[in-house]
Structure 1
Amino acid sequence: MAFASEDIAYHSSNAVYRVPSNRHEADQEALLGKPLDYPAPGLQRPEDRFNGAYIIFFCLGIGGLLPWNFFVTAKEYWAFKLRNCSSPASGKDPEDADILNYFESYLAVASTVPSLLFLVANFLLVNRIRVHVRVLASLSVSLAIFVVMAVLVRVDTSSWTRGFFSIAMACMAIISSSSTIFNSSVYGLTGSFPMRNAQALISGGAMGGTVSAVASLVDLAASSDVRDSALAFFLTAAVFLGLCVGLYLLLPQLEYARYYMRPVVPIHVFSSEDSPPRDAPSTSSVAPASRAVHTPPLGPILKKTAGLGFCAVFLYFITALIFPAISTNIQPMHKGTGSPWTSKFYVPLTVFLLFNFADLCGRQVTAWIQVPGPRSKLLPILAVSRVCLVPLFLLCNYQPRSHLTLVLFQSDIYPILFTCLLGLSNGYLSTLVLMYGPKIVPRELAEATSVVMLFYMSLGLMLGSACAALLEHFI
């Protein structure tokens, strides 16, 4: 029995995919605005009863970014642990002062560089390790790291501050790597679901940032010891990661999820009058382990997602350039008053909570409004226009500054407005880009395309974090 075309069919651990023989056919098989697949004989598309799958993906989105957010928002804890770097005894060493003053930049680099590397690894593992193994293993690693960090909260590190700094960076790198595997695997899984589930996952990530920011404010108000606050952070993250394990195990129990998680068969591979040969792959008779393992075709994916990839890189480049390295060092104009607002709550409220809440609002809007479209020229224009936010933040009361002495916006309302604009634009535009990516390719390539889209995102974050570290030294 012959194939209907000369397209090459590949078999993976959870899908069968092929490279379309022409562009018109690929466009016809794109998922955007169309049914995700053709119902198998005897199968009907079930409904997401009580929005169970939507809620699970939303919670998994929270768990995916909660570790990074808890690390970043615990700024007072890191300053407490690294206080010896600025003490009179050790402050004479410029390297010691550098560790404390630029800790956020180092933390961002330790997060984004491993993330980028492990995205490449996950792309290669898409067809070699089943998605549930990647998800559960990454959650377990993150959970173990947070247990270690919770133990270190009560350990006196004053005599080995630089050693603690190295451990913190190593933990951040490991958590970033495991979170990347988790996020890209779950995001790739949503590529087989209707687009609203990808929106739920992405919005959940913003909710994770909002939850961590609220937790920071509550702990600051209720606890006078930053160690208690940090312990609450890390234990909360550990509990929620354990909850994510349970929710992910619950997902395949839903009829709606089982329908979209079943193995994918090639679309229009066989001619209409022919039936598959006896030795052809069958989703019911061929075990995943017996299928040939191939790396997904990277070239067609990159070509198809080039425009969206540029938008993703530039969007996250600008965001990482400003948040958190620049925005967390903008101080209130009347900091010397000693009020709780200026000395304790300003950064947690106006930077972390405000940005994450604005980001969440922007992402949630995409559930109802999806403009501009994936091929619109307006989308890259809007992404590039965000570069105007960089000088706006630099002209606020950023401290310390030795080269750029001009403070143009001498009111606390300006950085608040700029942070809202940064969060809203990041949430709305980045969610559109990430939602569109897996939907402009055939379903067989959706999971691999999801990994590529996250690679674009991580590349932008890495470039933005690296440039932020340089920019801080030139201000």
Structure 2
Amino acid sequence: MAIASEDDTHHSSNSTYRATGSPLQPDQEALLGKQLDCPPPDRCHATYAIFFSLGIGSLLPFNFFITAKEYWAFKLHNCSNPASRRDPEDSDILNYFESYLTIASTVPSLLCLVANFLLVNRVPVRVRVLASLIVTLSIFVVMIALVKVDTSSWTRGFFTVTIICMAIVSGSATIFNSSIYGLTGSFPMRNAQALISGGAMGGTISAVASLVDLAASSDVRDSALAFFLTAVVFLGLCMGLYLLLLRLEYARYYMRPVGPVHVFSGEEEPPQDYPHSPLVPPRSLESHMPPLRPILRKTAGLGFCIIYLFFITALIFPAISANIESLHKGSGSPWTTKFFVPLTTFLLYNFADLCGRQITAWIQVPGPNSKMLPGLALLRTTLIPLFVLCNYQPRVHLITVLFQSDIYPVLFTCLLGLSNGYLSTLALLYGPKIVPRELAEATGVVMSFYIFMGLMLGSACSALLEHLI
């Protein structure tokens, strides 16, 4: 079942509705609500294009920060002074740098998600979005300034600066992502789909840039400079596009102010036309903090799907998939050595993920209340043995390699990316649509927390799975 086209569908501030007389599937009942007056048209699909671009900008700077792997190794390896004696602590910093980066990104992300939820009704979304962009832009300017600086005499100091920058970038990116995604909860679903697809496009661009750099770059500092400058350009573009969004008549219609959630006491009866009173907890005052319990209760099923989908994805990608080697690596060809993992793991996964997310613009099956959605999420568990039985190296406990061809990891990576992109986007689209409009932004933050939980659990378990292999 596919959702009706835009021409046959009316949009409220947070739901999609069939036109009168159109057949309605039971799955769509969760997306129904009080229909509003007809919105102005989205001229030239400008709002859709802006959200897609914001999606690219939301993840591209962070991806570029991570992609500059050779640059960080160069700066932390004292390459400017190779004859100097290595301190054991410097070696520890270099060997475990990626683990330090993971910690520096995970903890601030969690704290900023909580803070963003608490600030939903206190700080306007435009302040949070613009402030996070300015902070991230400032950090990348600092990183650009340090590219050409000789850090061989203060490696530990540079490491400390890098970790602090990573923590700030991760926190500000989290606030930006969750705020923009929460904002799309007040728009028709196609705009949220544009934002989510844009994020996948950012990952694809980053993977392509990494391949180009691998093939053509001769100086790691020049490639890092190109990465950071590109990130600054996209951050500046995001600021301009967001300010433009605030001026579009179509966007202003959906972004018009709504009062805080009014919660009724046991003695006070809600008005008859109040469309979502069953969700509102029995309290007598308007709250500055969005009510968490009704959001969790309403989104529990979708939350499970999101957590499990990203758990399986993070369990496999990139820890397991990036260690699958070509069966013909001994031939010495560039395809089987230099480009096999970047192409079959990073570029292919990101492109398949992008395709899966884009498909939801035309097909939205299953619906938010369907038992099929969690069933398909659980079915992705079968991907784990499929990847493990490819040519993962090194192998200590599980010696058998069942899939004796390089085509198998390619097919499995496509399946991993497509299923992750399609199913996770469906769940993320439905989340803010099954709550009242005044809770849509807060629900978007909660859905972002589900993503974080899935990624964190998957990343933690991937280390255990590696040891079992």
Change (3 A) 1:393 1:104: farther
| The one of 356, 368, 374 aligned to 1:374 | 368
Q: In the alignment, which residue of structure 1 is the partner of 2:389?
A: 395
- State the distance in 1 between where 2:392 and 2:150 align: 32
CA contact (8 A) 1:438 1:446 kept: yes
- State the distance in 2 between where 1:326 and 1:127 align: 41
Amino acid at match of 1:439: K
Change (3 A) 1:201 1:239: same
- State the distance in 2 between where 1:71 and 1:36 align: 44
Q: In the alignment, which residue of structure 1 is the partner of 2:247?
A: 253
Change (3 A) 1:335 1:271: closer
Structure 2 unaligned spans of 5+: 1-12, 14-25, 263-268, 274-284
Q: In the alignment, which residue of structure 2 is the partner of 1:184?
A: 178
Change (3 A) 1:66 1:351: same
Change (3 A) 1:139 1:33: same
| The one of 32, 38, 42 aligned to 2:36 | 38
C-alpha deviation, 1:414, in angstroms? 2.0
CA displacement, residues 31-52 of structure 1 (integer Å, 9 cap, x when unaligned): 954467523xxxx410111000
- State the distance in 2 between where 1:140 and 1:220 align: 30
Secondary structure at 2:338's aligned position in 1? Answer: helix
CA displacement, residues 36-92 of structure 1 (integer Å, 9 cap, x when unaligned): 7523xxxx410111000000001011111112221333333344445579x999899
Change (3 A) 1:384 1:99: farther
- State the distance in 2 between where 1:109 and 1:405 align: 32
**Count of residue pairs the alignment pairs up:** 424
Q: In the alignment, which residue of structure 2 is the partner of 1:19?
A: none
CA contact (8 A) 1:374 1:433 kept: yes
| The one of 194, 215, 226 aligned to 2:188 | 194
Change (3 A) 1:345 1:303: same
- State the distance in 2 between where 1:164 and 1:469 align: 28
Q: State yes or no: 1:230 paired with 2:224.
A: yes
Change (3 A) 1:405 1:218: same
- Which structure would you say has the larger RCO, counting Cα contacts within 8 Å and 6 or more residues apart? 1
Q: In the alignment, which residue of structure 2 is the partner of 1:334?
A: 328
Secondary structure at 1:370's aligned position in 2? Answer: coil
C-alpha deviation, 1:202, in angstroms? 0.5
Change (3 A) 1:342 1:166: farther
Q: In the alignment, which residue of structure 2 is the partner of 1:465?
A: 459
CA displacement, residues 249-275 of structure 1 (integer Å, 9 cap, x when unaligned): 000111100100001257996567xxx
Q: State yes or no: 1:73 paired with 2:67.
A: yes
Q: In the alignment, which residue of structure 1 is the partner of 2:119?
A: 125
Q: Which stretch of the first structure deviates more once superposed, 378-387 or 338-347?
A: 338-347
Amino acid at match of 2:67: T
Q: Which stretch of the first structure deviates more once superposed, 65-74 or 252-261?
A: 65-74
- State the distance in 2 between where 1:66 and 1:31 align: 36
| The one of 304, 308, 326 aligned to 1:310 | 304
Q: State yes or no: 1:442 paired with 2:436.
A: yes
Q: What are the residue-to-residue correspondences of 1:412-427 with 2, within 5 Å?
A: 412-427=406-421
C-alpha deviation, 1:232, in angstroms? 1.0
Structure 1 unaligned spans of 5+: 1-14, 16-27, 273-290
- State the distance in 1 between where 2:72 and 2:145 align: 15
- State the distance in 2 between where 1:241 and 1:398 align: 37
| The one of 211, 217, 220 aligned to 1:217 | 211
- State the distance in 2 between where 1:343 and 1:159 align: 35
Q: Scaled by the length of structure 2, what TM-score is found?
A: 0.82
C-alpha deviation, 1:167, in angstroms? 3.7
CA contact (8 A) 2:144 2:228 kept: yes
CA contact (8 A) 1:187 1:201 kept: yes
Change (3 A) 1:413 1:271: closer
Give identity over the alignment, percent: 74
Q: Scaled by the length of structure 1, what TM-score is found?
A: 0.81
Change (3 A) 1:264 1:31: farther
CA contact (8 A) 1:315 1:430 kept: yes
CA contact (8 A) 2:76 2:90 kept: no
- State the distance in 2 between where 1:405 and 1:160 align: 44
Q: Which stretch of the first structure deviates more once superposed, 386-395 or 247-256?
A: 386-395
